[in-house]
Amino acid sequence: MPTSFQFPLRLGFGCSGVWGMRWFPEREAQAILLKAFEGGVRHVDTAGFYGGGEAERRLGAALKLFREPIFVSTKTGTRYAAGGARKDFSEAAIRRDIDASLKRLGRDRLDLLYLHGPSRRELEKAVPTLARLREEGKIERWGVCGEGRGLDHAIDAGADVVMGVYNILRRDHVSAFRRAKNGGLGVVAVAPLAQGLYAPDFFRTRTPADAWRIARAIIRNRPELARARALRAELSVPGWAPAGIALAFALAEEAIDVAVTTTTNPVHLAQSLDAARRTLPDDARRRIVDALTLPGEAPN
């Protein structure tokens, strides 16, 4: 990797979801991101297709207000139109995305560009383009945000960083993460809080952001909802918020360099900042693993 992939805090902020939606007040989005920076966060992740570019634009505006260096990653490859999502990893498309991202972010170079869910063939065809972009100074690193074998393909193709889901309900990427770490790659975990599916009041709607979160979980995380109920007792630890336990559980995996989460709630941000500086008690992690391990399955 060109330079070290280490940060003062192993917590990253995702400029995504509700945070990057036009209907969510930009002043509130800016305020919570600046609180994250003040709390020690130095790694942020976004994408040009989040909020139709609004998330990158908001991030760019906030970066102008904070004088210390912030590491920024964004993504290319996914397009949203009336017919839904489509993929395009051609050189022309990647270059268009980078130029648009740099303009919205107010930067001359991207710290990290992820290919968003490429197939193996799409990845292999994009590698020469990424090499040229690095030589031109447009990007410093490139990686893959993906699932399953896609992470192994990224390691084999020479990526600098891999990004994938890892949390108390989904640990299926741990082998790829450890392989990447052993090979000197950076490893970024997303959804480390498992969308809070384990919270007893998960389906309580107080704000538009709650409604958005619930709808997203029903569409994307239905299988995990049932498993989450089994964890509620294990996430009750004196002196810890359940979300704090979930984050500390993810960060207990040594292969993970940064766990990226997002929020629009200052209380939730404070809990994450606190948990990122604490060590999960061994007995608490063991109870969580035991609760989720199926008969005949080896715990990890």
Instruction: Read off the tokens for 106.
Output: 């107010």
Top-confidence residue, 242 or 185: 185
Return d(Cα 284, Cα 217) in angstroms, integer.
Answer: 26
Residue 240 lies in a domain: no
Q: Residue 217: which pLDDT band, with cuts at 50, 70 and 90?
A: confident
Strand partners, 261: 13
Return d(Cα 97, Cα 49) in angstroms, integer.
Answer: 9
Task: For 263, list phi and psi in degrees, rounded to 5.
Answer: -160, 160
Top-confidence residue, 48 or 287: 48
Global pTM reads: 0.91
Mean predicted confidence (pLDDT) in 155-168: 97
- Least confident interval from 12-16, 86-90, 205-209, 274-278: 205-209
Q: Of 192, 177, 162, 161, nearest to 4 (Cα)? A: 161
106: number of Cβ within 10 Å? 13
Residue 291 lies in a domain: no
CA–chain centroid gap for 143, Å, is: 13
pLDDT at 1: 44
Residue 227 lies in a domain: no
Q: Residue 296: which pLDDT band, with cuts at 50, 70 and 90?
A: low
Residue 203 lies in a domain: no
Task: Tell whether the model's pLDDT for residue 277 goes beyond 60.
Answer: yes
Write out the residue range of the structural domain in which residue 35 sits.
11-192+254-281
Residue 77 lies in a domain: yes
pLDDT at 6: 87
- Least confident interval from 134-143, 174-183, 189-198, 218-227: 218-227
Q: What's the number of domains the chain is made of? A: 1
Instruction: Read off the tokens for 280.
Output: 């999960």
Residue 198 lies in a domain: no
pLDDT at 274: 96
Return d(Cα 66, Cα 38) in angstroms, integer.
Answer: 9
Q: Kindly report, residue by residue over 72-98, the tens digit of the pLDDT.
A: 999 999 988 777 789 999 999 999 999
Q: Of 118, 111, 61, nearest to 93 (Cα)? A: 118
pLDDT at 2: 44
SS3 247: helix
Q: Kindly report, residue by residue over 114-155, the tens digit of the pLDDT.
A: 999 999 999 999 999 999 999 999 999 999 999 999 999 999
Return d(Cα 293, Cα 151) in angstroms, integer.
Answer: 23
Q: Kindly report, residue by residue over 102-111, the tens digit of the pLDDT.
A: 999 999 999 9
CATH number at residue 87: 3.20.20.100
Q: What's the Cα-to-Cα distance from 299 to each of 28, 143, 284, 286, rounded to whole Å? A: 41, 29, 14, 9
Q: Residue 293: which pLDDT band, with cuts at 50, 70 and 90?
A: low
293: number of Cβ within 10 Å? 12
